[in-house]
Amino acid sequence: ARERPPRRVTVLGATGSIGENTLDLIGRDPARYRIVALTGGENVERLAELAIHHKAELAVIADETRYEALRERLEGTGIEAAAGRRAVIEAASRPADWTMAAIVGVAGLEPTHAALKQGATVAVANKECLVCAGPVFMAEVRRHGATLLPVDSEHSAAMQILSQSPDVEIDKLCLTASGGPFRCSTRQEMASVTPEQALKHPNWSMGRKITLDSATLMNKALEMLEAQHLFDLPPDRIDAVIHPQSIVHCLVYYRDGSVLAHMSPPDMRTPIAYTLAWPERMQVPMPPLDLPKLATLTFEAPDEDRFPALRLARHALQTGGSAGAVLNAANEVAAEAFFAGAIGFIAITEIVERVLSESPELVDRAPGRIEEVIAIDEEARRRTREYLPAFA
Ligand code: NAD
Ligand code: MG
Protein backbone atom coordinates (compact mmCIF):
# COMPACT_ATOMS: atom_id res chain seq x y z
CA ALA A 1 0.00 0.00 0.00
CA ARG A 2 1.11 3.53 -0.77
CA GLU A 3 2.19 5.48 2.31
CA ARG A 4 -0.08 8.41 3.08
CA PRO A 5 1.67 11.69 3.82
CA PRO A 6 1.35 12.66 7.49
CA ARG A 7 -1.75 14.70 8.28
CA ARG A 8 -1.07 18.24 9.41
CA VAL A 9 -2.95 18.80 12.65
CA THR A 10 -3.45 21.66 15.12
CA VAL A 11 -4.85 21.44 18.63
CA LEU A 12 -6.42 24.60 20.09
CA GLY A 13 -6.72 24.18 23.86
CA ALA A 14 -4.04 21.47 23.89
CA THR A 15 -3.48 21.71 27.65
CA GLY A 16 -7.11 21.02 28.51
CA SER A 17 -8.98 17.80 29.06
CA ILE A 18 -10.09 17.40 25.41
CA GLY A 19 -6.70 18.62 24.13
CA GLU A 20 -4.80 16.08 26.25
CA ASN A 21 -7.09 13.24 25.15
CA THR A 22 -6.64 14.26 21.52
CA LEU A 23 -2.86 14.27 21.84
CA ASP A 24 -3.02 10.93 23.63
CA LEU A 25 -4.63 9.40 20.52
CA ILE A 26 -2.31 11.19 18.11
CA GLY A 27 0.73 10.16 20.12
CA ARG A 28 -0.11 6.48 19.63
CA ASP A 29 0.53 6.76 15.89
CA PRO A 30 3.00 9.65 15.55
CA ALA A 31 4.13 8.76 12.01
CA ARG A 32 0.65 9.58 10.68
CA TYR A 33 0.62 13.14 12.02
CA ARG A 34 2.60 16.36 11.83
CA ILE A 35 1.72 18.85 14.56
CA VAL A 36 1.43 22.35 13.15
CA ALA A 37 0.42 24.26 16.28
CA LEU A 38 -0.53 23.66 19.89
CA THR A 39 -2.14 26.40 21.96
CA GLY A 40 -2.80 26.74 25.68
CA GLY A 41 -4.32 29.32 28.00
CA GLU A 42 -1.92 29.77 30.90
CA ASN A 43 -0.01 26.57 31.60
CA VAL A 44 3.38 27.24 29.96
CA GLU A 45 5.04 24.21 31.50
CA ARG A 46 2.51 21.71 30.16
CA LEU A 47 2.25 23.42 26.77
CA ALA A 48 6.02 23.27 26.33
CA GLU A 49 6.14 19.61 27.36
CA LEU A 50 3.43 18.72 24.85
CA ALA A 51 5.03 20.78 22.09
CA ILE A 52 8.40 19.10 22.62
CA HIS A 53 6.96 15.61 22.96
CA HIS A 54 4.85 15.93 19.81
CA LYS A 55 7.47 17.94 17.86
CA ALA A 56 5.12 20.84 17.16
CA GLU A 57 6.15 23.59 14.76
CA LEU A 58 4.55 26.30 16.89
CA ALA A 59 3.39 26.68 20.51
CA VAL A 60 1.19 29.59 21.55
CA ILE A 61 0.20 30.65 25.04
CA ALA A 62 -2.89 32.87 25.19
CA ASP A 63 -1.70 34.78 28.26
CA GLU A 64 0.55 37.49 26.81
CA THR A 65 2.50 37.94 30.04
CA ARG A 66 3.89 34.40 29.74
CA TYR A 67 5.67 34.87 26.42
CA GLU A 68 9.16 35.04 27.95
CA ALA A 69 8.55 31.94 30.05
CA LEU A 70 7.44 29.96 26.99
CA ARG A 71 10.28 31.25 24.81
CA GLU A 72 12.85 30.29 27.45
CA ARG A 73 11.32 26.87 27.91
CA LEU A 74 11.45 26.20 24.13
CA GLU A 75 14.93 27.66 23.60
CA GLY A 76 17.05 25.41 21.40
CA THR A 77 14.17 23.08 20.46
CA GLY A 78 13.48 24.75 17.11
CA ILE A 79 9.82 25.17 18.14
CA GLU A 80 8.46 28.63 17.48
CA ALA A 81 6.93 30.39 20.50
CA ALA A 82 4.22 33.05 20.49
CA ALA A 83 1.75 34.57 22.93
CA GLY A 84 -1.49 36.51 23.08
CA ARG A 85 -5.02 36.37 21.75
CA ARG A 86 -4.02 37.36 18.20
CA ALA A 87 -1.25 34.76 18.14
CA VAL A 88 -3.79 32.05 19.00
CA ILE A 89 -5.96 33.18 16.08
CA GLU A 90 -2.93 33.20 13.78
CA ALA A 91 -2.02 29.68 14.91
CA ALA A 92 -5.55 28.57 14.00
CA SER A 93 -5.09 30.17 10.56
CA ARG A 94 -1.94 28.20 9.72
CA PRO A 95 -2.74 25.61 7.06
CA ALA A 96 -3.71 22.31 8.66
CA ASP A 97 -5.70 19.32 7.42
CA TRP A 98 -7.42 18.80 10.74
CA THR A 99 -7.93 21.09 13.73
CA MET A 100 -9.26 20.30 17.17
CA ALA A 101 -11.13 23.31 18.58
CA ALA A 102 -11.01 22.66 22.33
CA ILE A 103 -10.70 26.06 23.93
CA VAL A 104 -13.35 26.55 26.60
CA GLY A 105 -15.99 29.28 26.31
CA VAL A 106 -16.39 32.28 24.06
CA ALA A 107 -12.58 32.71 24.08
CA GLY A 108 -12.60 29.99 21.42
CA LEU A 109 -14.91 31.81 19.01
CA GLU A 110 -12.35 33.65 16.89
CA PRO A 111 -9.73 30.88 16.78
CA THR A 112 -12.34 28.26 15.83
CA HIS A 113 -13.71 30.61 13.21
CA ALA A 114 -10.21 31.13 11.81
CA ALA A 115 -9.74 27.36 11.57
CA LEU A 116 -13.04 26.93 9.71
CA LYS A 117 -12.06 29.57 7.17
CA GLN A 118 -9.32 27.26 5.93
CA GLY A 119 -11.98 24.96 4.52
CA ALA A 120 -10.41 21.87 6.07
CA THR A 121 -11.73 19.58 8.81
CA VAL A 122 -12.47 21.11 12.20
CA ALA A 123 -13.44 18.96 15.18
CA VAL A 124 -15.46 21.25 17.44
CA ALA A 125 -15.48 20.50 21.16
CA ASN A 126 -15.90 24.20 21.93
CA LYS A 127 -19.72 24.02 21.92
CA GLU A 128 -20.03 27.65 23.01
CA CYS A 129 -19.13 28.59 19.40
CA LEU A 130 -22.27 26.95 18.04
CA VAL A 131 -24.42 28.12 20.93
CA CYS A 132 -23.43 31.77 20.44
CA ALA A 133 -22.82 31.95 16.73
CA GLY A 134 -24.53 28.90 15.24
CA PRO A 135 -25.93 30.50 12.07
CA VAL A 136 -22.69 32.44 11.42
CA PHE A 137 -20.56 29.33 11.88
CA MET A 138 -22.74 27.07 9.75
CA ALA A 139 -22.77 29.68 6.96
CA GLU A 140 -18.97 29.88 7.12
CA VAL A 141 -18.71 26.10 6.94
CA ARG A 142 -20.73 26.14 3.70
CA ARG A 143 -18.92 29.15 2.25
CA HIS A 144 -15.46 27.68 2.77
CA GLY A 145 -16.38 24.05 2.14
CA ALA A 146 -15.13 23.10 5.59
CA THR A 147 -16.06 19.89 7.39
CA LEU A 148 -17.32 20.48 10.93
CA LEU A 149 -17.34 17.38 13.12
CA PRO A 150 -18.85 17.63 16.61
CA VAL A 151 -16.78 16.26 19.49
CA ASP A 152 -19.52 16.35 22.11
CA SER A 153 -20.38 12.68 22.71
CA GLU A 154 -24.11 13.31 22.25
CA HIS A 155 -23.65 15.13 18.95
CA SER A 156 -21.12 12.63 17.70
CA ALA A 157 -23.75 9.99 18.46
CA ALA A 158 -26.43 12.05 16.71
CA MET A 159 -24.26 12.53 13.64
CA GLN A 160 -23.59 8.80 13.43
CA ILE A 161 -27.31 7.97 13.71
CA LEU A 162 -28.52 10.70 11.35
CA SER A 163 -25.99 9.78 8.67
CA GLN A 164 -27.80 6.43 8.25
CA SER A 165 -30.63 8.16 6.38
CA PRO A 166 -29.70 11.81 5.98
CA ASP A 167 -32.78 12.86 4.00
CA VAL A 168 -35.40 11.32 6.26
CA GLU A 169 -37.32 13.66 8.53
CA ILE A 170 -37.05 12.77 12.20
CA ASP A 171 -39.66 13.08 14.93
CA LYS A 172 -37.29 13.85 17.77
CA LEU A 173 -33.64 13.99 18.69
CA CYS A 174 -33.10 13.23 22.36
CA LEU A 175 -29.79 13.95 24.08
CA THR A 176 -28.97 12.08 27.26
CA ALA A 177 -27.69 13.80 30.40
CA SER A 178 -26.05 12.04 33.33
CA GLY A 179 -27.89 14.33 35.74
CA GLY A 180 -24.62 15.29 37.40
CA PRO A 181 -23.72 15.03 41.10
CA PHE A 182 -26.99 16.61 42.28
CA ARG A 183 -29.36 14.47 40.25
CA CYS A 184 -31.18 13.38 43.42
CA SER A 185 -30.69 16.54 45.49
CA THR A 186 -33.45 18.94 46.50
CA ARG A 187 -33.27 22.65 45.62
CA GLN A 188 -32.62 23.32 49.28
CA GLU A 189 -29.64 20.95 49.32
CA MET A 190 -28.33 22.48 46.11
CA ALA A 191 -28.49 25.96 47.62
CA SER A 192 -25.51 25.26 49.86
CA VAL A 193 -23.22 23.11 47.69
CA THR A 194 -19.58 24.13 47.34
CA PRO A 195 -17.54 24.35 44.12
CA GLU A 196 -15.68 21.24 45.30
CA GLN A 197 -18.93 19.25 45.49
CA ALA A 198 -20.08 20.59 42.13
CA LEU A 199 -16.79 19.46 40.56
CA LYS A 200 -17.30 15.80 41.47
CA HIS A 201 -18.84 14.42 38.30
CA PRO A 202 -20.10 10.84 38.59
CA ASN A 203 -19.01 9.59 35.11
CA TRP A 204 -16.74 11.96 33.21
CA SER A 205 -13.41 13.59 33.94
CA MET A 206 -13.49 17.01 32.26
CA GLY A 207 -12.45 20.67 32.55
CA ARG A 208 -13.98 22.57 35.46
CA LYS A 209 -16.39 24.77 33.52
CA ILE A 210 -18.12 21.90 31.70
CA THR A 211 -18.14 19.89 34.94
CA LEU A 212 -20.02 22.70 36.68
CA ASP A 213 -22.31 23.03 33.63
CA SER A 214 -23.08 19.33 33.98
CA ALA A 215 -24.10 19.86 37.61
CA THR A 216 -26.50 22.72 36.79
CA LEU A 217 -27.57 20.88 33.60
CA MET A 218 -26.61 24.05 31.76
CA ASN A 219 -24.34 21.78 29.73
CA LYS A 220 -27.42 20.01 28.36
CA ALA A 221 -29.03 23.38 27.68
CA LEU A 222 -25.96 24.41 25.65
CA GLU A 223 -26.01 21.05 23.88
CA MET A 224 -29.67 21.41 22.87
CA LEU A 225 -28.79 24.74 21.24
CA GLU A 226 -25.69 23.17 19.69
CA ALA A 227 -27.86 20.41 18.18
CA GLN A 228 -30.32 22.93 16.76
CA HIS A 229 -27.62 24.56 14.66
CA LEU A 230 -25.55 21.49 13.81
CA PHE A 231 -28.50 19.48 12.53
CA ASP A 232 -30.81 22.33 11.53
CA LEU A 233 -33.71 21.06 13.65
CA PRO A 234 -36.91 22.85 14.69
CA PRO A 235 -36.94 23.67 18.43
CA ASP A 236 -39.76 21.25 19.29
CA ARG A 237 -37.82 18.28 17.94
CA ILE A 238 -34.95 18.61 20.42
CA ASP A 239 -35.26 16.97 23.80
CA ALA A 240 -33.21 15.63 26.71
CA VAL A 241 -33.55 12.66 29.05
CA ILE A 242 -31.64 11.78 32.21
CA HIS A 243 -29.53 8.63 31.87
CA PRO A 244 -27.22 8.33 34.88
CA GLN A 245 -24.89 5.67 33.40
CA SER A 246 -23.82 7.78 30.36
CA ILE A 247 -23.71 4.75 28.05
CA VAL A 248 -26.44 5.79 25.62
CA HIS A 249 -25.54 9.24 24.28
CA CYS A 250 -28.35 10.11 21.90
CA LEU A 251 -31.65 8.67 20.67
CA VAL A 252 -33.34 9.55 17.39
CA TYR A 253 -37.08 8.89 17.02
CA TYR A 254 -38.62 8.16 13.61
CA ARG A 255 -42.29 8.22 12.69
CA ASP A 256 -42.52 4.47 12.15
CA GLY A 257 -41.84 3.92 15.85
CA SER A 258 -38.13 3.14 15.39
CA VAL A 259 -35.73 4.69 17.84
CA LEU A 260 -32.03 4.53 17.01
CA ALA A 261 -29.65 4.91 19.93
CA HIS A 262 -25.86 5.18 20.11
CA MET A 263 -23.82 3.60 22.89
CA SER A 264 -20.20 3.82 23.93
CA PRO A 265 -18.24 3.82 27.19
CA PRO A 266 -18.09 7.24 28.87
CA ASP A 267 -14.63 8.07 27.51
CA MET A 268 -14.14 11.16 25.33
CA ARG A 269 -11.48 9.40 23.30
CA THR A 270 -14.28 7.61 21.41
CA PRO A 271 -15.94 10.73 19.96
CA ILE A 272 -12.53 12.37 19.48
CA ALA A 273 -11.34 9.30 17.56
CA TYR A 274 -14.46 9.51 15.41
CA THR A 275 -13.46 13.02 14.30
CA LEU A 276 -9.81 12.00 13.77
CA ALA A 277 -10.58 8.96 11.63
CA TRP A 278 -13.78 10.19 9.92
CA PRO A 279 -15.10 8.83 7.60
CA GLU A 280 -13.21 5.75 8.70
CA ARG A 281 -12.77 4.25 12.18
CA MET A 282 -9.60 3.93 14.22
CA GLN A 283 -8.42 1.73 17.07
CA VAL A 284 -8.92 3.21 20.55
CA PRO A 285 -7.30 1.36 23.43
CA MET A 286 -10.17 0.69 25.80
CA PRO A 287 -12.07 -2.36 26.98
CA PRO A 288 -15.22 -3.08 24.95
CA LEU A 289 -18.56 -2.12 26.43
CA ASP A 290 -19.63 -4.94 28.76
CA LEU A 291 -23.43 -4.73 28.93
CA PRO A 292 -24.01 -7.77 31.15
CA LYS A 293 -21.55 -6.28 33.63
CA LEU A 294 -23.37 -2.94 33.54
CA ALA A 295 -26.62 -4.90 33.88
CA THR A 296 -28.97 -1.91 34.03
CA LEU A 297 -29.38 1.22 32.02
CA THR A 298 -31.94 3.62 33.46
CA PHE A 299 -33.74 6.69 32.16
CA GLU A 300 -35.60 9.45 34.00
CA ALA A 301 -37.61 12.47 32.94
CA PRO A 302 -35.69 15.65 33.72
CA ASP A 303 -37.11 17.76 36.55
CA GLU A 304 -37.22 21.32 35.25
CA ASP A 305 -38.16 22.75 38.63
CA ARG A 306 -34.97 21.49 40.21
CA PHE A 307 -32.96 22.08 37.01
CA PRO A 308 -34.33 25.23 35.37
CA ALA A 309 -31.49 25.17 32.80
CA LEU A 310 -33.57 22.86 30.60
CA ARG A 311 -36.52 25.22 30.69
CA LEU A 312 -34.18 28.07 29.74
CA ALA A 313 -32.83 25.96 26.88
CA ARG A 314 -36.32 25.38 25.50
CA HIS A 315 -37.02 29.10 25.78
CA ALA A 316 -33.76 29.98 24.00
CA LEU A 317 -34.42 27.40 21.25
CA GLN A 318 -37.83 28.97 20.57
CA THR A 319 -36.58 32.55 20.80
CA GLY A 320 -33.63 32.16 18.45
CA GLY A 321 -31.79 35.40 17.63
CA SER A 322 -29.09 35.91 20.24
CA ALA A 323 -30.77 34.02 23.07
CA GLY A 324 -28.01 31.40 22.94
CA ALA A 325 -25.24 34.01 23.10
CA VAL A 326 -26.89 35.83 26.01
CA LEU A 327 -27.59 32.61 27.89
CA ASN A 328 -24.01 31.47 27.39
CA ALA A 329 -22.43 34.78 28.41
CA ALA A 330 -24.53 35.00 31.57
CA ASN A 331 -23.67 31.40 32.39
CA GLU A 332 -19.92 31.93 31.90
CA VAL A 333 -19.94 34.97 34.21
CA ALA A 334 -22.17 33.28 36.79
CA ALA A 335 -20.00 30.14 36.73
CA GLU A 336 -16.88 32.19 37.46
CA ALA A 337 -18.72 34.00 40.27
CA PHE A 338 -19.71 30.64 41.77
CA PHE A 339 -16.11 29.38 41.64
CA ALA A 340 -15.00 32.64 43.28
CA GLY A 341 -17.48 32.09 46.12
CA ALA A 342 -19.47 35.21 45.22
CA ILE A 343 -22.79 33.44 44.55
CA GLY A 344 -24.42 30.13 45.41
CA PHE A 345 -25.10 27.21 43.10
CA ILE A 346 -28.76 27.79 42.37
CA ALA A 347 -28.11 31.47 41.72
CA ILE A 348 -26.26 30.46 38.54
CA THR A 349 -29.40 29.53 36.61
CA GLU A 350 -31.42 32.26 38.35
CA ILE A 351 -29.03 34.89 37.04
CA VAL A 352 -29.07 33.44 33.54
CA GLU A 353 -32.86 33.54 33.59
CA ARG A 354 -32.89 37.15 34.79
CA VAL A 355 -30.41 38.36 32.16
CA LEU A 356 -32.33 36.56 29.40
CA SER A 357 -35.70 37.96 30.45
CA GLU A 358 -34.44 41.50 30.96
CA SER A 359 -32.47 41.80 27.72
CA PRO A 360 -35.11 41.47 24.99
CA GLU A 361 -33.45 43.99 22.65
CA LEU A 362 -30.15 42.09 22.97
CA VAL A 363 -31.79 38.70 22.52
CA ASP A 364 -33.69 39.89 19.43
CA ARG A 365 -30.55 40.66 17.47
CA ALA A 366 -29.59 38.15 14.78
CA PRO A 367 -25.90 38.74 14.14
CA GLY A 368 -24.51 38.05 10.70
CA ARG A 369 -20.87 38.41 11.68
CA ILE A 370 -18.63 37.08 14.38
CA GLU A 371 -17.74 40.63 15.55
CA GLU A 372 -21.42 41.30 16.29
CA VAL A 373 -21.66 38.08 18.28
CA ILE A 374 -18.67 39.18 20.35
CA ALA A 375 -20.26 42.60 20.97
CA ILE A 376 -23.49 40.93 22.16
CA ASP A 377 -21.48 38.57 24.35
CA GLU A 378 -19.63 41.49 25.94
CA GLU A 379 -22.82 43.43 26.61
CA ALA A 380 -24.48 40.36 28.15
CA ARG A 381 -21.43 39.83 30.37
CA ARG A 382 -21.52 43.46 31.50
CA ARG A 383 -25.19 43.14 32.47
CA THR A 384 -24.62 39.85 34.26
CA ARG A 385 -21.87 41.42 36.37
CA GLU A 386 -24.31 44.17 37.34
CA TYR A 387 -26.84 41.61 38.53
CA LEU A 388 -24.35 39.55 40.55
CA PRO A 389 -24.50 41.54 43.82
CA ALA A 390 -28.29 41.06 43.98
CA PHE A 391 -27.72 37.28 44.05
CA ALA A 392 -24.77 37.25 46.46
P1 NAD B 1 -10.39 22.59 29.93
O2 NAD B 1 -10.66 23.68 30.88
O3 NAD B 1 -9.82 21.31 30.46
O4 NAD B 1 -9.43 23.09 28.76
C5 NAD B 1 -9.66 24.31 28.08
C6 NAD B 1 -8.48 24.67 27.21
O7 NAD B 1 -8.68 26.01 26.72
C8 NAD B 1 -7.14 24.68 27.94
O9 NAD B 1 -6.11 24.35 27.06
C10 NAD B 1 -7.03 26.15 28.36
O11 NAD B 1 -5.70 26.53 28.63
C12 NAD B 1 -7.56 26.82 27.13
N13 NAD B 1 -8.05 28.17 27.40
C14 NAD B 1 -8.80 28.60 28.45
N15 NAD B 1 -9.04 29.92 28.36
C16 NAD B 1 -8.45 30.33 27.21
C17 NAD B 1 -8.35 31.60 26.56
N18 NAD B 1 -8.90 32.71 27.08
N19 NAD B 1 -7.68 31.68 25.38
C20 NAD B 1 -7.10 30.56 24.85
N21 NAD B 1 -7.16 29.35 25.44
C22 NAD B 1 -7.82 29.24 26.60
O23 NAD B 1 -11.78 22.30 29.17
P24 NAD B 1 -12.23 20.96 28.44
O25 NAD B 1 -12.99 20.12 29.39
O26 NAD B 1 -11.11 20.38 27.67
O27 NAD B 1 -13.33 21.55 27.44
C28 NAD B 1 -12.98 22.25 26.25
C29 NAD B 1 -14.23 22.44 25.43
O30 NAD B 1 -14.73 21.17 25.06
C31 NAD B 1 -15.37 23.13 26.19
O32 NAD B 1 -16.08 23.95 25.32
C33 NAD B 1 -16.24 21.97 26.64
O34 NAD B 1 -17.59 22.32 26.79
C35 NAD B 1 -16.06 21.00 25.49
N36 NAD B 1 -16.30 19.60 25.84
C37 NAD B 1 -15.50 19.00 26.76
C38 NAD B 1 -15.73 17.66 27.11
C39 NAD B 1 -14.84 16.95 28.11
O40 NAD B 1 -15.03 15.78 28.33
N41 NAD B 1 -13.87 17.60 28.71
C42 NAD B 1 -16.78 16.96 26.52
C43 NAD B 1 -17.56 17.62 25.57
C44 NAD B 1 -17.32 18.92 25.24
MG1 MG C 1 -21.69 16.31 25.87
Structural domain spans, the chain: 7-151, 152-299, 321-392
Distance 79 CA to ligand 2 centre (A): 34
* Buried b or exposed e, range 327-353, using 16+ CB within 10 angstroms: bbbbbbbbbbbbeeeebbbbbbbbbbb
CA 7 from centre of chain = 24
| 264 marked ligand binding residue | no
| 220 marked ligand binding residue | yes
Q: Which of 7, 36, 11 is nearest to 24 (CA)?
A: 11
| 16 marked ligand binding residue | yes
Q: Which residues line ligand 1 (CB under 6 A)?
A: 13-19, 40-42, 62, 88, 102-104, 107, 125-128, 151-152, 204, 206-207, 210, 268
Is CATH 3.40.50.720 the right assignment for the domain spanning 7-151?
yes
Distance 222 CA to ligand 2 centre (A): 9
Distance 232 CA to ligand 2 centre (A): 18
**Residue 202, pLDDT score:** 85
User: Alpha-carbon distance 88 to 38, whole Å?
Assistant: 9
334, 370 Cβ separation under 8 angstroms: no
Q: Which of 259, 193, 178 is nearest to 223 (CA)?
A: 178
3-state secondary structure of 390: helix
**Residue 201, pLDDT score:** 87
Q: Which of 150, 144, 147 is nearest to 128 (CA)?
A: 150
DSSP state of 253: E
pLDDT along the chain (392 residues), means of 10: 85 98 97 98 98 98 98 98 98 98 97 97 98 98 98 98 96 98 98 96 91 98 98 98 98 98 97 97 96 96 98 98 98 98 98 98 96 98 98 94
**Can you tell me the ipTM of this complex?**
0.99
Of 12, 17, 130, best ligand 1 pocket probe by most atoms within 8 Å of the beta carbon:
17
| 200 marked ligand binding residue | no
**Residue 203, pLDDT score:** 87
> 321-392 maps to which CATH number?
1.10.1740.10
**Beta-carbon contacts of residue 252 (< 8 Å; ≥ 6 apart):** 158, 161, 162, 170, 172, 173, 174, 259, 260, 261
